[in-house]
Amino acid sequence: MLIQPIDIFVYAWLIVAALSAAYVAWDQFKGNPEPAVMKWGFVLVTLYMGPIGLLLYVMADKEPTPGTHEEFVKPLWKQGVGSTVHCVAGDATGILAAAVITALVGLPMWADLIVEYTAGFLFGLLIFQALFMRKMMGGTYLENVRRSFLPELISMNCMMAGMAPVMIYLMMGRDMRAMWPGEPLFWVVMSLGIVAGFAIAYPVNVWMVAHGMKHGLMTVREDSRSAKKSSNSSPGAGRDKEPTHGAMAGMDHSGKAMTKSTDTSAKISSRHKKSPQGDKSTQMRDGHSAGDTLAGHGMQSGVTRPQLVAVTVFTLLLLIAGMTVPSAFFNLTLTAEQVGGAIMPPGMIMTQETPATAMLDMAAVNPRDVTASYGLDRPGAQVLQPRLENGVKVFDLTTSVIRWQILPSVFVDAYAFNGQVPGPTLRFRQGDRVRINVTNHLPETTTVHWHGLILPNVMDGPAEVTQSPIKAGELYRYEFTALQSGTYFYHSHDHVDRQQSLGLYGALIVDPSDAAQEIAADHEYTLQLQEWLVRDGLTYPAMPMEGGMPNYFTINGRAYPSTDTITMKVGETLKVRFIGSSSGFIHPMHIHGGPFTVVARDGETLEPAARYKADTLNIGPGQRYDVIWPATKPGKWLIHCHISHHATNNNTEQQGGGGLMMVIEVTGDPTQ
Ligand SMILES: [Cu+2]
């Protein structure tokens, strides 16, 4: 599923990596003349580094025309590529395996890095260097481990020094899908990390190859039967004892590829002839003989001990920097299990102290959780008709994640009651016994609070305070008797900051038991306010915090010019019920065309003497005002928020405004 524009690159990269690796594997085993360990090295590195692996293979290693491999791979830069490829193939395999396991186990990032380093080092040393190279270099396994130790340590330090910051920056930045191995992005980030590690390990590998501490590229020819008769056919994969130092003795430290000395070749060759499986012989020419270090078999590598110590210390410092410097910016105590998959809003401030819960609160709604999509033709806040059960008015509310259209070109991913934003309007009469069955189909727990109502405490809704949160798939039954009348509303009271900001609220209108108490008007309109934050097709809960500032605003789930238009005639009255259903912003709501009379506040009808005229009312979160507005002149009169920015759509005006704006269209005698 394409969730972000970068996903196109992610899939393209993975496809190219797979195709590249398949090509390299096919080409290598079709006949590129080199030892199997290098064939596998290039295949793995191409799988891990995609097109960059392919580039390295064709530019540095793939035999251009038959018989030219020896010459082709001679340049030192190619020898360095071979050495680095060999190192990265082993190290990265260990790192990748460890990364998947640590993510699944739920280790914090800092521990991930240590486990990944250890696994990469051990896999590289024990398998790719000591085990695979032993076949060619001879000696016991332990001897190979010992002589590979320093070159492997130096390479692995560089590898992780490059890889760790890239992983941390890309995994724990905005798009934390990269922390979870189930996400394609994880694999691309690992790829990019390996590329960075390769780039840092390359120069030091060139140095090690040039000084005989590591092998470079090699040529191994598997000749036909006739080759066995050739006195020139030389050492092969069959040797398994004392490594010959002939190549080293003749080694050119400028990095030119070498061919083993004749007597060595002859020796190996003759031994090879005794092999019962000697139906084919291999000829190997090392770019540089592999294996021995200063600590090795008394080889003359040209590397002095101070040089070796200096290089090792330098790479250790690089490693420490790569592993620790990012901790100044990122919270490395987080685990993939906690935040893996979350996408954070642009501009959110995340530091080494930002906890996982803060991230999850502000993260984008996961588009994969959307279960239904609704266009502009579906109104929000539809009045829900109850069914009667033994004199109780029963309402069913179900929460789910929906895609909801707020403008012709803008959809939001919303948390909704009954597939509407706002949720259905619950209307009943003072004295009614009501039961509301809330079924939760969100990817998280929820509860519902009946804002402003006097009711039994256990029915009040605050999660962890008066009730256990309603888990996904569960139902909670709220039941109470309506003691008051007026304009109220209901909203989520679990992760309220997130859930109410994503649309979990609805109007609650209780008509007075004595209908005469109602302050009537010719028309009535209930107006619920909300803010949205939509970027690159993802919806984040809007909140007054860095990175959470809204860019869309809705009245009853629509932004102007898609908001409703109220139609009435001159001389008629309009009762507007303002509901501060937003959870983080105050909206000074203004009506054009003359003042209105405030007749109720927070559900309580004002005594006649306390009613007052105004043309702008601050509607704060949780507040409700009922006002009566008389239509005195014909024309188009606006209701809008007086914070001008709240009357825009993504900071632009359409048809004279946007967001929290709607029109009252009054017809009648124009002379009035
Ligand atoms: Cu406003």
Does the pLDDT at position 316 exceed 80?
A: yes
- What's the CA gap between 223 and 531, in Å, rounded? 74
Over residues 139-148, the pLDDT tens digits come to 777 888 888 8
Pairing of strands 410-417, 486-492: unpaired
- Comparing 157-171, 206-220, 277-291, 321-335, which segment has the lowest mean pLDDT? 277-291
Q: Could you tell me the distance, in angstroms and rounded to a whole number, from the CA of residue 462 to the centre of ligand 1? A: 27
- What's the CA gap between 441 and 476, in Å, rounded? 12
Give the pair of three-digit tokens for residue 79. Answer: 């020898």
Tell me if residue 436 falls in helix, strand or coil: strand
pLDDT at 253: 36
Output the CA torsion sign for 382, 387, 391, 393. negative
286: confidence class by pLDDT, cuts 50, 70, 90? very low
Give the pair of three-digit tokens for residue 13. Answer: 């990269």
- What's the CA gap between 84 and 82, in Å, rounded? 5
Does the pLDDT at position 271 exceed 80?
A: no
Q: Could you tell me the distance, in angstroms and rounded to a whole number, from the CA of residue 245 to the centre of ligand 1? A: 81
Q: Could you tell me the distance, in angstroms and rounded to a whole number, from the CA of residue 586 to the centre of ligand 1? A: 6
Mean pLDDT of 196-208: 94
Q: Could you tell me the distance, in angstroms and rounded to a whole number, from the CA of residue 504 to the centre of ligand 1? A: 19
Over residues 458-505, the pLDDT tens digits come to 999 999 999 999 999 999 999 999 999 999 999 999 999 999 999 999
Q: Could you tell me the distance, in angstroms and rounded to a whole number, from the CA of residue 580 to the centre of ligand 1? A: 10
Q: Could you tell me the distance, in angstroms and rounded to a whole number, from the CA of residue 369 to the centre of ligand 1? A: 30
Q: Could you tell me the distance, in angstroms and rounded to a whole number, from the CA of residue 646 to the centre of ligand 1? A: 5
Q: Could you tell me the distance, in angstroms and rounded to a whole number, from the CA of residue 622 to the centre of ligand 1? A: 14
Q: Could you tell me the distance, in angstroms and rounded to a whole number, from the CA of residue 529 to the centre of ligand 1? A: 9
Q: Could you tell me the distance, in angstroms and rounded to a whole number, from the CA of residue 585 to the centre of ligand 1? A: 7
Does the pLDDT at position 643 exceed 90?
A: yes
Cβ–Cβ under 8 Å, residues 201 and 159: yes
- What's the CA gap between 217 and 215, in Å, rounded? 7
pLDDT at 671: 63
The DSSP-derived string for 312-324 is: HHHHHHHHHHHHH
pLDDT at 129: 77
End-to-end CA separation in angstroms for the chain: 59
Q: With a threshold of 0.85, does the pTM exceed it?
A: no
Does the pLDDT at position 273 exceed 60?
A: no
Sequence-distant (≥ 6) Cβ neighbours of residue 575 within 8 angstroms:
519, 520, 521, 523, 524, 525, 599, 626, 627, 628, 629
225: confidence class by pLDDT, cuts 50, 70, 90? very low
Q: Could you tell me the distance, in angstroms and rounded to a whole number, from the CA of residue 559 to the centre of ligand 1? A: 12
pLDDT at 34: 87
Q: Could you tell me the distance, in angstroms and rounded to a whole number, from the CA of residue 659 to the centre of ligand 1? A: 9
Q: Could you tell me the distance, in angstroms and rounded to a whole number, from the CA of residue 660 to the centre of ligand 1? A: 7
pLDDT at 574: 97
The CB-based long-range contact list for 469-473 (8 Å cut-off, 24+ gap) reads 469/445, 469/494, 470/438, 470/440, 470/445, 470/446, 470/494, 471/440, 471/445, 472/440, 472/441, 472/442, 472/443, 472/444, 472/445, 473/439, 473/440, 473/441
Over residues 551-563, the pLDDT tens digits come to 999 999 999 999 9
pLDDT at 262: 34
Q: Could you tell me the distance, in angstroms and rounded to a whole number, from the CA of residue 575 to the centre of ligand 1? A: 20
Give the pair of three-digit tokens for residue 229. Answer: 């008769």
Q: Could you tell me the distance, in angstroms and rounded to a whole number, from the CA of residue 552 to the centre of ligand 1? A: 11
Give the pair of three-digit tokens for residue 474. Answer: 């569960």
Q: Could you tell me the distance, in angstroms and rounded to a whole number, from the CA of residue 222 to the centre of ligand 1? A: 78
Q: Could you tell me the distance, in angstroms and rounded to a whole number, from the CA of residue 383 to the centre of ligand 1? A: 25
pLDDT at 223: 59
224: confidence class by pLDDT, cuts 50, 70, 90? very low
Cβ neighbours of 90 (radius 10 Å): 32
Pairing of strands 538-540, 523-535: antiparallel
Query: For the chain, what is the mean pLDDT?
Result: 86
How far are the Cα atoms of 446, 449, 459, 468, 496 from residue 462, in angstroms, in the given order?
Answer: 9, 6, 9, 9, 9
Over residues 377-411, the pLDDT tens digits come to 999 999 999 999 999 999 999 999 999 999 999 99
Mean pLDDT of 430-442: 97
Q: Could you tell me the distance, in angstroms and rounded to a whole number, from the CA of residue 555 to the centre of ligand 1? A: 11
Instruction: Report angle CA 388, 390, 392 to the nearest 5 degrees.
Output: 55
DSSP 446: B
List 396's β-bridge partners, or say none.
437
Q: Which amino acid is at 32?
A: N
Does the pLDDT at position 199 exceed 90?
A: yes
Residues at Cβ < 5 Å from ligand 1 ion? 587, 641, 643, 646
Q: Could you tell me the distance, in angstroms and rounded to a whole number, from the CA of residue 645 to the centre of ligand 1? A: 7
- Comparing 90-99, 250-259, 431-440, 523-532, which segment has the lowest mean pLDDT? 250-259
Is residue 243 reached through a cis peptide bond, with omega within 30 degrees of 0 on the bond before it?
A: no
Cβ–Cβ under 8 Å, residues 636 and 594: no
pLDDT at 301: 66
Higher pLDDT, 343 or 1: 343
DSSP 609: G
Tell me if residue 589 falls in helix, strand or coil: strand
- What's the CA gap between 554 and 411, in Å, rounded? 12
Q: Could you tell me the distance, in angstroms and rounded to a whole number, from the CA of residue 553 to the centre of ligand 1? A: 8
